[in-house]
Amino acid sequence: MSVEFCGLELAHPIINASGTFDAIAARRAFGDQLIERFPFAAFVSKTVTLEPRQGNPPPRLWEVAGGLINSIGLPNKGLAGYLEQDLPELACLGVPLIVNVMGFSRAEVAHLVRAVSEREEVSALELNVSCPNVETGLMMGADPGEIAALLHRVRPLTDKPLIVKLTPSATDVPAVALAAFRAGADAVSLINTVRGMALDPRTGEPWLGGTTGGVSGPAIRPIALAQVHAVAEAVPIPIVAMGGVQRGRDAHDLMRAGASLVAVGTESFRDPAAGLRIAAQLADLTSTVRP
Ligand SMILES: Cc1cc2nc3c(=O)[nH]c(=O)nc-3n(C[C@H](O)[C@H](O)[C@H](O)COP(=O)(O)O)c2cc1C
């Protein structure tokens, strides 16, 4: 099941989706067992921003049929805290590290890319572009021109693989993927969460502290499949696919649609070892299902 991805040798094609597996907390809970049976072939960090963030006020989660809505709001220690405290711990996991970064201007993203890329523990970077560029008012990942300008700025700053995490809310996701590829992205990943909302049944007011949030889990799996299929037709670079993967069959479907790797997100909350189970199920399917 080993795969090559942007020059990295991975033991199997299953990795985690950013922000859905806290490897440092898991290491504390499970000790060296976690390292011996790490569920993913590479570890993707949650989003790192330049400055520390508290995240959104609670409540931050709402369960829906087939998934959940989160308005976590990207709490994190900021770049300096991540590099000093988290990265050395994550480097002990024994799998390649992919660091997910997000900035609110091209200059901020450039700063993040340069600083993260300098660290030898880091194998690749993922750009989370599901946020507005405060300089232009446009969402970085929603517009082909914005994404091209961003990549032109940051591509020369690193020789490491750059994965662009596309936003599913772009009007034309394949056009954004194509612009990212033409401006030097090594791979794209998709899908991020889909905007949703829930009302408190007692008051009728928005339940989530952030008013709206991102829907994830099996509810978005068909959207992921359609978007991965469309993006695979548009670009020749590898795709990391995610969105509602619960079983080997779901990962297999996304690979049939054009993905090279599959990331597991929400399912890890239910079963922290889901990555291993899904990789094993995928291996069984790949050996028994004829294309
Ligand atoms: C609680 C939670 C936190 C997340 N945090 C991040 C994050 O920090 N950065 C990011 O790029 N995506 C984040 N995501 C999106 C996931 O990486 C993934 O794109 C999405 O959840 C779809 O996959 P899934 O349906 O398997 O969860 C988060 C998702 C959830 C549910």
Could you tell me if the CB of 216 is within 6 A of ligand 1?
Answer: yes
* Overall domain count for the chain: 1
**Residues annotated catalytic, as ranges:** 131
Could you tell me if the CB of 268 is within 6 A of ligand 1?
Answer: no
Residue span of the structural domain in which 261 resides: 3-288
Q: What is the pLDDT of residue 287?
A: 85
Q: Is the pLDDT of residue 291 over 70?
A: no
Instruction: Indicate the burial class of 244 (C-beta count within 10 angstroms; 0-12, 13-18, 19 or more).
Output: buried
Residue 155 is given by DSSP the state G
Question: Comparing C-alpha atoms, which of 79, 57, 78, 72 is closest to residue 130?
Answer: 72
Cα 277 to averaged position of ligand 1 atoms, centre (Å): 20
Q: Of the residues 15, 20, 76, which should be mutated to test ligand 1's pocket, given the most ligand atoms within 8 Å of the CB?
A: 20
Residue 87 near residue 131 (C-beta atoms within 8 A): no
Q: Is the pLDDT of residue 27 over 80?
A: yes
Model confidence at 290, in pLDDT bands (50, 70, 90)? low
**pLDDT digits over 60-83, tens only?**
999 999 999 999 999 999 999 999
Atom of ligand 1 at shortest range from CA of 189:
19
Query: In what order do the strands lie in the sheet containing 212-216?
Result: 61-64, 67-70, 212-216, 194-197
Q: What is the pLDDT of residue 289?
A: 57
State which H helix or E strand residue 125 sits in.
Answer: strand 122-128
Cα 264 to averaged position of ligand 1 atoms, centre (Å): 9
Cα 18 to averaged position of ligand 1 atoms, centre (Å): 5
Cα 63 to averaged position of ligand 1 atoms, centre (Å): 15
CATH number at residue 166: 3.20.20.70
For ligand 1, atom 12: residue with the closest CA: 18
Rounded Cα distance, 65 and 217, in Å: 9
**pLDDT digits over 160-218, tens only?**
999 999 999 999 999 999 999 999 999 999 999 999 999 999 999 999 999 999 999 99
Q: Of the residues 212, 216, 264, which should be mutated to test ligand 1's pocket, given the most ligand atoms within 8 Å of the CB?
A: 216
Could you tell me if the CB of 220 is within 6 A of ligand 1?
Answer: yes
